[in-house]
Structure 1
Amino acid sequence: MSSNVISEKTPAQPDDRAVPVNYEYSRTFPELLSRLDLSIVLSTYQAGRVVSIGVNRGELRVGFAHFEQAMGLTRTPTGLTVGSRQAIWNLPAYRDIAPQLKPEGEYDIAFLNRSCHWTGPLMVHDLAFCDQRLWVVNTLFNCLATIEGDWSFMPQWKPPFISTLTSGDRCHLNGLAIREDGSTPAYVTALGETDTENGWRENKVNGGCLMEVPSGKVLLRGLSMPHSPRLYRGNLYFLDSGYGRLNRYDPVQNRAEVIAELPGFTRGLECWGDHAFVGLSRIRETAIFGGLPLQDRHDSLRCGLGVVNLSTQEVVGSFWFNSGVEEVFAVIVLPGYRNPILIGPDTDLDATQTTWIVPALLP
């Protein structure tokens, strides 16, 4: 394994205090990213960071942008969108500016924070750009919603067992799969089929379900805190998080097929090429995560990213945080870009690198 150590300052601490972020990665990992011609972005609400992982001149590059309780991530036609504690942030992509940022010539794409939609706290989970709109899994209100106009959110769909639209996490709706043509939402995951606030917690070990949208039909029950359903190449993948598994739904047998078992609480998934990029978290000893099947492997659990070859079902690459980051929330890939930089609302930049975006100047 190769390793490196980075110190990053967090907005919540005085300037003279730093949180060390220690990470390691498999020797295959940089070569895999280069061969697939992509980079990775992941979020962690515990550390309030969005992490970019890329390669420059054959060496791994890791960057951090700060967002309060960073949650859902998605690509959009113009850049990236980041869900946070009370706002949805828009980061347009700037290809021409990226090479000018220091160190000059290192970055091939820059995502610069320019605006946000203030939602208030929604416990936003998965985000997806679908039907020319931004869709969010609004966990606090147990519904799928869109971000439109001056509304905090626009409710669009709720599970049939949810009686009314009101604040209070009843089923912990969390994951969203859109159709591969980008037309409409197709599937969701939830941690329980309950209609009372926090009712899903009573049976979190095996009360999770996979549902069809818009019918609300439950395809699978008995899942352990499932997350991140994704349609890819005609298959429906999802994470059975309490077991640390990447699963594929078999519609003929109406069952889940285990593709891979990984050393962590699986949450955050994107597929590209023949590979699945799976976010992993350590189990924190709390009322939410205690008692899961993964607890039997508590001492060996990792936080970071596992790469699974979907054809061979083997783990072919890994990136682990050893300190500073305890959980991963969302994972996306950036095809065609080797080394991105993200600048968020709380990102610390050198004073000499303040960035302004302006129209072309008059002659």
Structure 2
Amino acid sequence: MSAASEQAGQTTDAPVRLGPGDIACSRGLATWLSTHQVSLALSSYQTGQLFLVGVKPSGGIHFHAVGTNRAMGLWAEPQTLILATANQVIRFENILEENQRIGDADKYYVPRVAHTTGDLDIHDIVKLKDGSIVFANTIYSCLSTLHPVHSFAAWWTPDFISKLAAEDRCHLNGIALRGGRPAYVTMVSRADVVNGWRDRRDLGGCIIDVRSNEVVTENLSMPHSPRWHQGKLWVVNSGTGHLGWVDTASGAFQEVCFLPGFARGLSFHNGHAIVGLSLPRDGSFKGLPLDDELKKRDADPWCGVQIVNLDTGNVVEWIRFSGVVKEMLDVCTLPGVRLPSAASPTSPEVSNLRTIASSAKRVEPA
């Protein structure tokens, strides 16, 4: 990707080509993934890549890049991936049976359904128990569902948003499920004017209870990726660089650890948090406490993933990108998957990936 196209925020459908120095991993990452029987799925907004991270039969780390037209919010299950892109929501399905392999891959995800939404700047996306999809419609400042005719149907709108307009008023970006239903959302501010959140990046970030419309807390800085996990409301306070949880009674934010980058994307597995990190877009985190936090620690910002032990707050394993990959948008786990792979929606191989459902039965006409 040229420097000019990167600065313009353009994306590419082609898999990004990583050179020998463009990616580094902690020495124990492969062992950690194998021990915890999990793989990772990462979306990289600015390069448009879906990265799948697993372990080779030889024991080394395997990275697979899938080109998309911007890779945004991501929902992952062992059999299904749901990815928001620049103008579509794409559902990938694993086509391999339990003992089948394509190369070394034990899961191979193929794009099966693409719902065209137009550009909604979709951040978090979740699948409910009934199979329906709800997403953070950031452009329109609401939670939305897919619609068979229109770009979306509004599912929930904050009570301070006076009008559905493509103005990214409050930068509503995150969804926390509780009991299988959207329970909490994050937003950068409670602004009700076009791009109003940009004037409130340092403080004013809030979490709202979807069920009651009550504000849980409003003293955060650019919060993202709320998650209800083991009885706590976790969130990344992206503007300060801290992972922590919010006391839903008092609204107090309890810091667990500092992460050296713009944190966005959060998943949990076996007592650990997996968090995505991004570099600043303009070379600095101007106007954010994160800038001072990095200076205080004499640290450079990261792009990549860090795995945090929730008991100690220590980073136990990590992935670090350099070169063309500068931003992560979402991070998901794939429990029970050793080496995932996938086909790009625009790749030539999709034309020849024809599979027949083995459980299909012929139905005779009445």
User: Aligned residue for 1:95?
Assistant: 96
1:226-241 correspondence runs (5 A): 226-241=223-238
Contact 1:187 1:210 in 2 (8 A): yes
User: Aligned residue for 1:310?
Assistant: 310
Inter-partner Cα distance in structure 2 for 1:111 and 1:118: 20
SS in 2 for 1:300: coil
Q: Under a length normalisation based on structure 1, what TM-score does the superposition of the two structures give?
A: 0.88
Query: 1:247 deviation in Å?
Result: 1.0
Cα deviation digits, residues 123-168 of structure 1 (max 9, x gap) = 1010001142100100111100111333321111111110122221
SS in 2 for 1:312: coil
CA gap 1:108/1:76 in 2 versus in 1, 3 angstroms: closer
Query: 1:237 deviation in Å?
Result: 0.3
Contact 1:268 1:330 in 2 (8 A): yes
Inter-partner Cα distance in structure 2 for 1:11 and 1:143: 28
After superposing the two structures, state which structure 1 stretch, 141-150 or 225-234, moved more.
Answer: 141-150
1:324-335 correspondence runs (5 A): 324-335=324-335
Cα deviation digits, residues 270-304 of structure 1 (max 9, x gap) = 011100000001112179x5321222327611100
Out of 271, 277, 281, the position equivalent to 2:278 is 281
Structure whose residues are more often strand by fraction: 1
CA gap 1:335/1:77 in 2 versus in 1, 3 angstroms: closer
Inter-partner Cα distance in structure 1 for 2:165 and 2:322: 39
User: Aligned residue for 2:4?
Assistant: none
Cα deviation digits, residues 288-335 of structure 1 (max 9, x gap) = x53212223276111000001111211111110022210100000000
Inter-partner Cα distance in structure 1 for 2:140 and 2:99: 38
User: Aligned residue for 2:123?
Assistant: 125
Asked if residue 290 in structure 1 is aligned to residue 250 in structure 2, the reply is no
Inter-partner Cα distance in structure 2 for 1:219 and 1:234: 15
Inter-partner Cα distance in structure 2 for 1:51 and 1:336: 17
User: Aligned residue for 2:173?
Assistant: 174
Runs of 4+, deviation exceeding 3 Å: 10-13, 17-21, 97-100, 358-362
User: Aligned residue for 1:80?
Assistant: 81
Structure 2: any 5+ residue segments left out of the alignment?
1-10, 362-366
Contact 1:108 1:339 in 2 (8 A): yes
Contact 1:85 1:123 in 2 (8 A): yes
Give the counterpart letter for 1:83 in structure 2: A
User: Aligned residue for 2:242?
Assistant: 245
User: Aligned residue for 1:5?
Assistant: none
Contact 1:98 1:107 in 2 (8 A): no
Contact 2:12 2:47 in 1 (8 A): no
User: Aligned residue for 1:6?
Assistant: none
Q: Under a length normalisation based on structure 2, what TM-score does the superposition of the two structures give?
A: 0.87
Give the counterpart letter for 1:269 in structure 2: L
Asked if residue 262 in structure 1 is aligned to residue 263 in structure 2, the reply is no
Cα deviation digits, residues 10-53 of structure 1 (max 9, x gap) = 8468x9x9564710011121111111100000001100100001
Inter-partner Cα distance in structure 2 for 1:19 and 1:207: 38
SS in 2 for 1:176: strand
Out of 95, 110, 113, the position equivalent to 1:112 is 110
CA gap 1:176/1:255 in 2 versus in 1, 3 angstroms: same
Contact 1:65 1:346 in 2 (8 A): no
Structure 1: any 5+ residue segments left out of the alignment?
1-9
User: Aligned residue for 1:320?
Assistant: 320
CA gap 1:12/1:343 in 2 versus in 1, 3 angstroms: closer
Inter-partner Cα distance in structure 2 for 1:12 and 1:337: 25
Query: 1:259 deviation in Å?
Result: 0.8
Contact 1:178 1:230 in 2 (8 A): yes
CA gap 1:73/1:303 in 2 versus in 1, 3 angstroms: same
Percent sequence identity is 35
Contact 2:13 2:67 in 1 (8 A): no
SS in 2 for 1:242: coil
User: Aligned residue for 2:5?
Assistant: none
Inter-partner Cα distance in structure 2 for 1:76 and 1:135: 16
User: Aligned residue for 1:66?
Assistant: 67
Contact 1:72 1:127 in 2 (8 A): yes
What is the number of residues matched between the two proteins? 343
SS in 2 for 1:89: strand
SS in 1 for 2:239: helix
User: Aligned residue for 1:137?
Assistant: 136
SS in 1 for 2:29: helix
User: Aligned residue for 2:215?
Assistant: 218
Query: 1:220 deviation in Å?
Result: 1.0
